[in-house]
Structure 1
Amino acid sequence: MISAAVIDIEGTVAATDHVHRVLFPYSRERIGDWLAEHRDTAVVAEVLAQTRDLAGRPDAGETEVAEILRRWIDEDVKAAPLKTAQGEIWRAGYASGELVSHLYPDVPGALRSWVDGGLAVYVYSSGSVEAQRGWFAHTPYGDLTGLLSGHFDLTNAGGKREASSYRRIAEAVGLPGERLVFLSDIPAELDAAAEAGWHTIGVRRPEERFQDLGRHRVVESLHGFDPRR
């Protein structure tokens, strides 16, 4: 029996285009100022240290780190320090009202019906936990964070294409893999979840209608869909 659903964001419950067209440019424009304005905080110290380490530039100054982060944004690199910085920048944007997230219209009703039916819902995204919370708190349909039981990202779970990450999530939520289902639009992520013993559902949105999701069960909408069946 499936007791919890773990959902991806980009391409699954929200349009990939929103991330690349709205969120990435927003963070790219502000990342240098964010580092400077918060340079005495622990979060910036961590971003600087991790970026230097990952880039192999131990002596990089703040300006160079900003350039590295901008390059990673352009290349859509799934790097933890970049995701941390973006999450903080987007959080401020949501709080100011400059940003509103995107969700497909079928998502709010689906999440409510799953939760009302006793299913716990978690989020697992390469975006930081902070970014995930901001996303679901500032949707066009209102604050949906009350429907979510928890969040996982690259820092607290690991890479999304690694089976060990899904085992780590299963341990964190206290459920075996056979009681968990993962929804994503990325075949390699679904493969990793399946390797960890999870149920999997590929979500094929209109802009990805030709995406080959391999052997995984596929749905094209969450409207009226129960992931336990």
Structure 2
Amino acid sequence: MIKAIVTDIEGTTSSIDFVHQSLFPYAKAHLRAFLHAHAAEPAVAEQIRETAALEGRALDTEAAAAVLARWIDEDRKATPLKALQGMIWAQGYAAGELKGHVYPDTPVHLRLWHGQGRRLYVYSSGSVEAQKLIFGHSDAGDLTPLFSGYFDTRIGGKREAGSYQAILKELALPGEEVLFLSDVGEELDAARAAGMHTCQLLRDAKARPFAQHPQARDFSEVAL
């Protein structure tokens, strides 16, 4: 019996286009001004230091902004970039300039599964803070009360089996009682290697099917 469902965001609960055409450009447009305005704050200064460490050289605020903007263009899954993007998006959501996209069936089935007593979790390359913003300010209202927890790249890469083993440890459940949902086959491979059940969402015509995993066009087709 599936007692917990762990879901990806991009291409799974929410449109890839929303992330790449709305969130990323918003963060890039506000990045430089945000860093100059908040560089002295401990949380922001820490991310600038981590950016410099990953880049392997000293960076002042302006140089860090240039590196981070390049990482946005490269769609780098770097933890300091994700953390800073989350801080910038928080301002955008608070100002009403951003609204988190979810597919119409997403809130319906999240509420259904939650009502059945299944624990719901998110695992995304975006920071936990950014995950909470998407679901807390979604176009279907605040969905955060439905979730029991969130995981990001701080627990490990999404294509590494060890990340899913660490999630299972946090959930205190065996893999056979956990279902992982994603549109990315390599992530599903890693989750299955850790012992989880898997299902690939094929919402986007560009999604590459992995026939070794059960597939669904939306959450109504996810078999539990």
TM-score (norm: length of structure 2): 0.97
**Equivalence for 1:76:** 75
Q: Is the CA contact (8 Å cut-off) linking 1:91 and 1:134 kept in structure 2?
A: yes
Letter of the aligned partner of 1:198 in structure 2? M
- The residue aligned with 1:26 is 26
Partner amino acid, structure 1, of 2:51:
T
Residue 146 (1) aligns with residue 145 (2): yes
Flag structure 1 segments of 5+ consecutive residues without an equivalent. Answer: none
- Of residues 201, 204, 209, the one that matches 1:203 is 201
Partner of 1:126: 125
Question: Which SS does the other structure have where 2:82 is aligned?
Answer: helix
One-letter amino acid of the structure 1 residue matched with residue 216 of structure 2 = V
**Pick from 166, 170, 180: which aligns with 1:182?**
180
1:227, distance to aligned residue in structure 2 (A): 4.2
3-state SS, counterpart of residue 83 of structure 2: helix
Cα displacement (A) at 1:206: 3.6
Contact 1:5 1:227 in 2 (8 A): no
- The 8 Å contact of residues 180 and 196 in structure 2, kept in 1 or not, is answered as yes
Alpha-carbon contact 1:84-1:128 (below 8 Å) kept: yes
Q: CA RMSD in A?
A: 1.1
Is 1:106–2:105 an aligned residue pair?
yes
1:59-111 deviation line (CA, Å, top 9, x unaligned) = 11111110000000001011000000001111111111100011111101000
Give 1:34 deviation, angstroms. 1.3
> In the alignment, which residue of structure 1 is the partner of 2:45?
45
- Quote the residue 1:212 is aligned against: 209
The aligned amino acid for 1:214 is A
Note if contact 1:202-1:216 (Cα within 8 Å) is conserved in structure 2: yes
Paired position in structure 1 for 2:168: 170
- Percent of aligned pairs with the same residue? 48
Superposed CA deviations along residues 30-81 of structure 1, whole A, max 9, x for unmatched, are: 1111112111222112111111111112x11111110000000001011000
Which is worse superposed, 100-109 or 35-44? 35-44
Q: Describe the shift of the 1:41–1:227 C-alpha distance in structure 2 as closer, same or farther (beyond 3 A).
A: farther
**Counterpart of 2:162 in structure 1: which amino acid?**
S
Residue aligned with 1:216, SS: coil
Alignment match, 1:3: 3
Q: Quote how far apart the aligned CAs of 1:130 are.
A: 0.4
Letter in 2 for 1:32: R
Q: Match of 1:43, as an amino acid?
A: A
Structure 1 position 226, deviation (Å): 5.3
CA separation in 1, counterparts of 2:39 and 2:61? Answer: 9
- Structure 1 residues 113 and 226 mapped into 2: Cα distance closer, same or farther (>3 Å)? farther
Structure 1 residue 212, shift from structure 2 partner:
1.8
Hey, what's the Cα distance between the residues in 2 that align with 1:110 and 1:212?
22
Structure 2 residue matching 1:178: 3-state secondary structure: helix
SS of 1:23's equivalent?
helix
Give the distance between the partners of 2:158 and 2:219, measured in 1 at CA: 22
Please report the TM-score for the alignment, with normalisation by the length of structure 1.
Answer: 0.95
Secondary structure (helix, strand or coil) at the match of 2:121 reads strand
Structure 1: 4+ residue segments shifted above 4 A: none
> Unaligned 5+ residue runs, structure 2?
none
The CA distance in 2 between the partners of 1:150 and 1:30, in whole Å, is 29
- How many residue pairs get matched? 224
> SS in structure 1 opposite 2:35?
helix
Does structure 2 retain, via aligned residues, the 8 Å contact 1:114–1:226? no
**Contact 1:184/1:203 (<8 A) preserved:** yes
